[in-house]
Structure 1
């Protein structure tokens, strides 16, 4: 009887240990699992739910089923023209085959290392085959005449616009692209996918997060931009100086015209005034010739004698009114 109690207790204890170890496990939404037994894969689950396992001998490895991202390191890569640029990529991927992924990496850390190497290699391969313009641009819209460019010369006549373009003497036409950045991103993705299918990974896309010039190329680009902006500024200054000279010439001509007209009017006015004065003098002279002669002599004395310090005179007829108001009578 005692032995039967002990057997029952052992069975109950074993049952509780079995339950404690857990013959069931839950796969959460957004997760997937790989079940291994003695190091061998026996099952995989990609759907959320409640599943059974063999306690003590089965091991459950859980991987994310959602889309993952990988931020690549900045790389210094030469273009087809041998111009070095700094490329920083980001990519999206997910585990498409958990069993194959487990056999290849077992952990996400190992997958990140391998995936980073593959993406860097694919990025370098595609960029070195293409020109810089293909990498930094996605279309040829920059070569189209935009409203912003039209407004930059608003208020300026067509001939003045043509004059500015002649002064600039540069072509604003940029190099046309045949592929563009979007197409190159697809090529990078396809290049990397060739090496990722055997690892149970689906690579969704590779996108350059940042593309910038290397230090030596940055300085060269900035210098070229400064030169072009200075050239544009100088063109506007030259046009302004030309317009200034033109308007100053018009102003000077108008000034001379006004002065000539004013001089003509003044001379006509002076002529009329002299005629009227002469008429008044003549009328005065005809009324009293002696008084007129006396008055004119005094006016002459004011003009001539004021410039002499000393005057010596015999009895000249010119000074007759100095000796007598009657004039040498």
Structure 2
């Protein structure tokens, strides 16, 4: 072969190789493009979430079961909504109680999306749902606490907070269902109640005054009880002493009568001895070391002193 034929053959082979490379490039590019399109239109639904599928902005499907899902390329898009329970801290609000006391209420709620399509249709987003829920909670809490007096709300012993939380939760859910918000409130709780700052000092002063008045009342009742107990005790002591004296007098009289009877029985057996005994007893009472006795010689004293019996 001539040199010219060799050159032509090489040129022809190069053209064939270039065409093949172009075809291979187009093939691999197409495959990669198809894979990218497939991957970008496949989405995963996780546990605890909703996937909202939109087509030209309209909701066409809600996927709530975990797994791999596919959407139409370039036409459909997805957004995610939480399926789990969520906590929302309600903004503090000032309300008036039944007895015209102003208090600041701080609540929180536990809630959950139960119908994503309704929620998106009526409030558009989670933020919108929370805003509407807060509005209903404030309305119901203001109505419920407005029917209670201040002491019923803050006094732990007389507080109706337990039943109040249940009532608020029930009524908020009724409003949410009535207005088709697509969410459910599981619980509403009152975290704390505060007084407006300008009222605190006046309330503290009144509380101190009430406590002092109550303390004085207790002291007065204590003094009255003490005086009553002392009077009752003195009366009982007087009665007991009088009864004891009366009993002692009776016992003493009975003893003296019995002693006299014994004396009579004893001395009647020997009258002379009794006379001697009585005389000696009188000596014990009338005679001492300085006693001077002047008696007739015929008296009993003289007779016994002289040894004449």
When normalised by structure 1's length, the TM-score is: 0.58
Are 1:31 and 2:45 an aligned pair?
A: no
Aligned partners of 1:219 and 1:203: how far apart in 2?
A: 43
Alpha-carbon offset, residue 70 of structure 1: 2.2
Contact 2:91–2:107 (Cα < 8 Å) also in 1: yes
Aligned partners of 1:282 and 1:61: how far apart in 2?
A: 134
Alpha-carbon offset, residue 65 of structure 1: 3.1
Contact 1:81–1:132 (Cα < 8 Å) also in 2: yes
Alpha-carbon offset, residue 257 of structure 1: 4.1
Aligned partners of 2:186 and 2:203: how far apart in 1?
A: 28
Aligned partners of 2:204 and 2:149: how far apart in 1?
A: 13
1:72-111 pair list within 5 angstroms: 72-85=90-103, 86-94=105-113, 96-98=115-117, 101=120, 108=126, 110-111=127-128
Aligned match of 2:81: 63
Alpha-carbon offset, residue 16 of structure 1: 2.6
- Summarize the Cα distance change of 1:7–1:322 in structure 2 as closer, same or farther, 3 Å threshold: farther
- Summarize the Cα distance change of 1:6–1:233 in structure 2 as closer, same or farther, 3 Å threshold: farther
Structure 1 residues 97-118: Cα deviation after superposition (integer angstroms, max 9, x where no partner): 4486399555x4x347624642
Aligned match of 2:10: none
Which gives a bigger RCO, structure 1 or 2 (Cα 8 Å, sep 6+)?
1
1:200-215 pair list within 5 angstroms: 201-204=182-185, 207-210=188-191, 212=193, 214=195
Alpha-carbon offset, residue 24 of structure 1: 1.7
1:190-229 pair list within 5 angstroms: 190-191=174-175, 197=180, 201-204=182-185, 207-210=188-191, 212=193, 214=195
1:170-249 pair list within 5 angstroms: 182-191=166-175, 197=180, 201-204=182-185, 207-210=188-191, 212=193, 214=195
Are 1:45 and 2:31 an aligned pair?
A: no
Which 5+ residue runs of structure 2 have no aligned equivalent? 1-15
Contact 2:133–2:176 (Cα < 8 Å) also in 1: no
Aligned match of 1:126: 143
Structure 1 residues 232-251: Cα deviation after superposition (integer angstroms, max 9, x where no partner): 99879978986886687567
Contact 1:32–1:44 (Cα < 8 Å) also in 2: no
Structure 1 residues 247-282: Cα deviation after superposition (integer angstroms, max 9, x where no partner): 875676466445534432331221121132134334
Aligned partners of 1:201 and 1:279: how far apart in 2?
A: 118
Alpha-carbon offset, residue 298 of structure 1: 3.2
1:310 equivalent among 290, 306, 309? 290
Moved more, 44-53 or 243-252: 243-252
Aligned match of 1:284: 270
Structure 1 residues 182-232: Cα deviation after superposition (integer angstroms, max 9, x where no partner): 4454334445667x64xx542445523446574676997898799889979
When normalised by structure 2's length, the TM-score is: 0.61
Alpha-carbon offset, residue 42 of structure 1: 6.5
- Summarize the Cα distance change of 1:226–1:206 in structure 2 as closer, same or farther, 3 Å threshold: farther
Aligned match of 2:280: 298
Contact 2:98–2:145 (Cα < 8 Å) also in 1: yes
Are 1:265 and 2:251 an aligned pair?
A: yes
RMSD: 5.1
SS at match of 2:113: strand
- Summarize the Cα distance change of 1:113–1:42 in structure 2 as closer, same or farther, 3 Å threshold: closer
Aligned match of 2:12: none
Aligned match of 2:32: 16
